[in-house]
Structure 1
Amino acid sequence: MFRTPGPVLITVIMCLTMVACLIDVFVFATLIKTFEAEWALTKAEQGWISGIYFAGYTATVPVLMAVTDRIDARRVHLSGSLIIALGALAFALFAEGFWTALIFRTLSGIGLAAVYMPGLRVLVDRYSGAQESRAIAFYTASWSLGVAGSFLVTGVIGEALGWQAAVLSGAAAAIVSFLMVALLLAPIVPQQPEQRTRLLDFRPVFRNRAAMAFIFGYAAHTYELLAYRAWLVAFLAFSVTQQPTPAVGWLAEPARIAAFTALAAMIASVIGNEMAIRLGRARWIAAIQVSSGGLACGLGFLAGESYALVAGLAILHSFLIQADSAPLTAGVYAAAEPGRQGQTLAMHNFIGWTGGFLGPVAVGLVLGHFGKESVVGWGFGYAAMGIVGALGAAVVLTLAGRRTDDA
């Protein structure tokens, strides 16, 4: 019934499923001004709705990833696609304010937890070619392509047909992902660890110093990345209002710029992996985290400057944030003990995406404190992203040093 796909085809299949499952991920951020007006949401409430998606992800990913050491990750991935579709469908039909939005976005976040890293496990468990880190790089790069699709597809559909139709497009895309995996990939039996432990006994992972270096670095990366994604459209929209003529062309509208930033991030993920191979993972990751964090600390204070400058720097910021993503994930997978890849990736995501949950919330709280419609407020909000992101460099260099530089 099933044909075994080669290394290129399996990589393409899993990248496409990742893109499809991500159409739903930033629908709230894309249409944030619509929800703010329709539901009378405060900036803090907007931050909670943006962040709760990743809280749902974080709370469930340890179990969902650890179980892939026992069962085929394909089964987890299929379940995740259906959960994303269910969460999006429920949001489109029943969300009517802050509390219902929290519930349904949490459900969709749980679905992503069953798709993103389990999808990587589906890929590497079936990948038979050389240069596995490059396959991982393309898979992590597909995250950025999916984000671009989320901003672009839901933005266009939302403007034309309303926010409910935009959310439903995410549900439909998740069903496409389910069908691709169900019909194109055969089940397998995963490699078992030499010494079996309890499913949620993560002590061997915590003792793995090299893996923990990348895990903590990933937490700083994800904090900055998801705070940036959650607030980018709102930040650009504010910058537009500060211009002498507050009007921009179709391609320069905030949602479109957000899509361009995601495409830049996709390129950065692939380039970043190649640079890490040549320069060493730890050194490359540290340099990128200091650069992206430093840019963030200044970018918010430039909101009142030329919109072209602000948009250009936002694209550069996206490139820098994502340039360490593939090296971080490839590094932790390479450092994992055989048979414990699922447990190691579980902690990679649990700790990492705890940062992803906290980032949007923290920026929302800062904006609420300093003023949601002021350059100073956005300046300190972006600084709250950048400081934490830059701290990751110190952690990676301290724990990893030169021992993990070989890619």
Structure 2
Amino acid sequence: MIAVMCLCEVLSMAAYGCYPALLPLLRDDWALSNGTAGWISSAFFVGYVAAVPVLTGATDRVDARRVYIGSLTLIALATLGFGSFATGPLSAGLFQALAGAGFAGSYMPGLKILSDHVRGPKASRAVASYTACFSLGAGLSVWLAGLVAAAGGWQAGFWTAGASAAAALVLALVAVPATPPPAPAAGIRHRPWWMPPDFRPVLRNRRAIAYTLAYAGHCWEMFGLRSWLVAFLVHAGAAAAWASSLGGAIIASGILTSFFGNEMAMRLGRRRWITVAMSVTAVLAGVTAAVAGAPLALVLVVVAAYNLMVMADSASLTAGAVAESDPSVRGAAMAMHALLGFGGAILSPITFGLALDGAGGDGDPLGWAAGFAVLALGGLAGLAAFRRIGGGGPPPTVTISRGDGGNG
């Protein structure tokens, strides 16, 4: 079950990294400003945030497999559509938003399918495996898009990613089991599946919401970095074709620290480990800003270290939110987790691009330093919210297994 869900995730994520990998090429071909290029990247997350309350929240009321299958279909069609019909910022943004909406119904609902079928001591590592494969899929998508585009043009990159998402759809149809919704808890009345869920029971759970707010800071840094990584490597002196391969390898390496971070959280406690990891991440964002004009070799070392630490708390944040949530409203809790988390992902690529333009443009190291400083500030804001909110509130309604490591 874990292997099937992780493989579906990696295959479907081929669409995720296409635009960031090809941003330098499309920016030049379409004569885009950095702000506009960032907006197209953010359109993916606009679609995600618009759809996630309905699609992820619906898994408390309908079979999560139905949501998952339909969403994989949307990813495949939107990505193939980008390669076939996108001609500028508006059409590109539309297809990006549609792909993001598909991702809203596949990533968190896929995690819910997994968490509903894998319980007990294995649950934390199952979540860690799934979230770690996010880095693997993201890295492979950037690498694949750059490789295919170098041989056949940017359209071929999107067509290949769409075919990969279609392969995930076929695998899910064959191997993903039915996942009927749980019976509602006493006092909770579910809305029709097509309406956003009632988030009030979720918002009352301070300890779960603390993980979600920290996740928003994490996503601000992670998606801001991934959206601009390839372009940053081109600025540092890497050839465009090599930059996508290097960027893909850097992103994929995050799978290592995602697993490592989960193990550290089990030993130190989640709260303590998340505090350490987010603090170190902010420091490395500052170091990345400082070396924006340095030789390529130094830039690669520093930005790779930054990416590794960005992913060090990913599994712990999501596992904590899942563990602290009430099973009867877990779909709503995961929808809120994704909504606030990916809300940060909408704003960070745009803000990075605006900071880059405002501080000298992509040819000026000061512009890149400003962009990475913006990422650091968002991560620190998430950490501050986590420390302030997460220490109180009622105890969780779900028992945490000893292997999950608790809250530290």
TM-score category by the smaller chain? Answer: over 0.9
> What is the correspondence of 1:150-161 to structure 2 with a 5 Å cutoff?
150-161=141-152
Q: Deviations over 1:281-328 (max 9, x none)?
A: 111111111111121123123122121111011111111000100000
After TM superposition, give the deviation of residue 148 of structure 1 in Å. 1.1
Match of 2:303 in 1: 314
Distance 1:364 1:225 in 2: 15
Q: Secondary structure at the match of 1:103?
A: helix
After TM superposition, give the deviation of residue 248 of structure 1 in Å. 6.5
1:394/1:92 CA distance change after superposition, 3 Å? same
User: Is the 2:359–2:367 Cα contact (8 Å) retained in structure 1?
Assistant: yes
The answer on 1:105 being equivalent to 2:118 is no
Q: Deviations over 1:146-178 (max 9, x none)?
A: 011111111100000111110011111111111
The answer on 1:172 being equivalent to 2:138 is no
Given residue 395 of structure 1, which amino acid in structure 2 is its aligned partner?
A
Choose which of 358, 367, 370 in structure 2 pairs with 1:369.
358
Match of 2:188 in 1: 196
1:76/1:249 CA distance change after superposition, 3 Å? closer
- TM-score normalised by the chain length of structure 1: 0.93
> What is the correspondence of 1:7-406 to structure 2 with a 5 Å cutoff?
10-128=1-119, 130-194=121-185, 195-199=187-191, 200-240=197-237, 253-372=242-361, 373-401=363-391, 406=406
User: Is the 1:298–1:379 Cα contact (8 Å) retained in structure 2?
Assistant: no
Q: Secondary structure at the match of 1:23?
A: helix
Q: Which structure 2 residue ranges, 5 or more long, are not aligned?
A: 192-196, 397-404
Number of residues of Structure 1 aligned to a counterpart in Structure 2? 390
After TM superposition, give the deviation of residue 391 of structure 1 in Å. 2.2
After TM superposition, give the deviation of residue 36 of structure 1 in Å. 1.1
Q: Secondary structure at the match of 1:187?
A: coil
Q: Secondary structure at the match of 2:406?
A: coil
1:189/1:42 CA distance change after superposition, 3 Å? same
Given residue 232 of structure 2, which amino acid in structure 1 is its aligned partner?
F
RMSD: 1.6
Q: Secondary structure at the match of 1:31?
A: helix
Distance 1:17 1:182 in 2: 10
Given residue 55 of structure 2, which amino acid in structure 1 is its aligned partner?
L
User: Is the 2:38–2:349 Cα contact (8 Å) retained in structure 1?
Assistant: yes
Q: Deviations over 1:62-121 (max 9, x none)?
A: 111111011121111101110001111111111001111111110000010011000001
User: Is the 1:286–1:392 Cα contact (8 Å) retained in structure 2?
Assistant: no
Distance 1:211 1:192 in 2: 21
User: Is the 1:64–1:113 Cα contact (8 Å) retained in structure 2?
Assistant: yes
- TM-score normalised by the chain length of structure 2: 0.92
Q: Which structure 1 residue ranges, 5 or more long, are not aligned?
A: 1-9, 241-246
User: Is the 2:61–2:190 Cα contact (8 Å) retained in structure 1?
Assistant: no
Given residue 384 of structure 1, which amino acid in structure 2 is its aligned partner?
V
